[in-house]
Amino acid sequence: MRAEQHPLFPLVVVADCWLQRLLIWTPGQTDLIKTVALVLMVLDHISLLSGLDNEWLRLAGRGAFPLFGLVWAMNLARHPQIRQASLNRLWVWAAVAQAGWVLAGLRSDNGNILFAFAVSGQALLLMQQYGSKAWPLSLMMVLAWLPFSGGSFSLPGVLMLLLAYGVFMSARRTTRTGLACCLAITLLSLNAGHSMAFAVAGLVIPGVTITILSRSFRGVPRFWPPEFFPLFYCAHLAVPGLIAM
């Protein structure tokens, strides 16, 4: 039976049309989504690094990584091929951010979140360049990262990034909708080890944010420079550590 003849296909069409409207952003809307993610991240890290351990601030912070991940995936999908030069810059930023990570008092054997983006992007690039025969090498790269990924959502974090890229890149309705369902499940799993409230927040907060911002502020121009996020990430980790010193 062809996909178009399946009785559930009309529901897939409706879901996919809604999904495409949700994930098409102007450059200004993209920067607004980044801004929300930055605020949520800072609130979470203030609570963590200051010893405040406020449950509400930590709860809000669950939305930061999914939002950054969706923006990252959308930016990669804008180009026919992932560019090694862009990944090289990301690897450098991740290494720089690790110094701030250690200064902030976080475990040195855990990698910061920029490494999760770099590992995921490198695995995708290998698959793009060499096809399915590269999947063992991509898998080994992800597995090598896992022992250091405790502070970066471990395997669910990598899966979330890979699935998000697949949602933006897929041309078929059924594939795109299926990947989006898998992505939603993965978002729930990011914080499932902490509490049910954290798990749900990791899905609901980015979902509400994108729903609101994708339907408004279309006239807002881009306002963040290209390398702003990794620079801000490095600085916001290093500053508390320098103050403490």
Domain extent listing, the chain: 26-244
pLDDT at 62 over 80: yes
User: Which of these ranges, 116-125, 139-148, 201-210, 221-230, has the smallest mean pLDDT?
Assistant: 221-230
CA dist., res. 197 & res. 93, Å (int) = 32
CA dist., res. 215 & res. 99, Å (int) = 39
Token digits of residue 39: 């605020």
* Confidence (pLDDT) at 7: 58
For residue 222, give the DSSP letter: P
For residue 26, give the DSSP letter: -
pTM comes to: 0.92
User: Which of these ranges, 16-25, 37-46, 163-172, 209-218, has the smallest mean pLDDT?
Assistant: 16-25
Mean model confidence pLDDT for the chain = 89
* Confidence (pLDDT) at 245: 58
Give the DSSP per-residue string, 152-216. Answer: TTHHHHHHHHHHHHHHHH--SHHHHHHHHHHHHHHHHHHTTTT-HHHHHHHHHHHHHHHHHHTTS
pLDDT (average), residues 230-234: 91
* Confidence (pLDDT) at 5: 52
pLDDT tens, residue by residue, 19-52: 888 888 999 999 999 999 999 999 998 888 777 7
pLDDT tens, residue by residue, 102-159: 888 888 899 999 999 999 999 999 999 988 888 999 999 999 999 999 989 999 999 9
* Confidence (pLDDT) at 183: 96
Of 241, 180, 214, 169, the closest CA to residue 14 belongs to 180
Kind and range of the H or E run holding 136: helix 135-145
> Any idea of the CA torsion for 117, 118, 123, 125, to the nearest 10 degrees?
110
* Confidence (pLDDT) at 115: 96
Non-local CB neighbours of 104 within 8 Å, separated by 6+ positions: 45, 49, 237, 238, 240, 241
> Any idea of the CA torsion for 122, 44, 28, 174, to the nearest 10 degrees?
50
AA letter at 199 = A
pLDDT tens, residue by residue, 64-117: 999 999 999 999 998 889 999 999 999 999 999 999 898 888 888 999 999 999
pLDDT (average), residues 160-168: 96
User: Measured between alpha carbons, how far apart are the two ends of the chain, in Å?
Assistant: 67
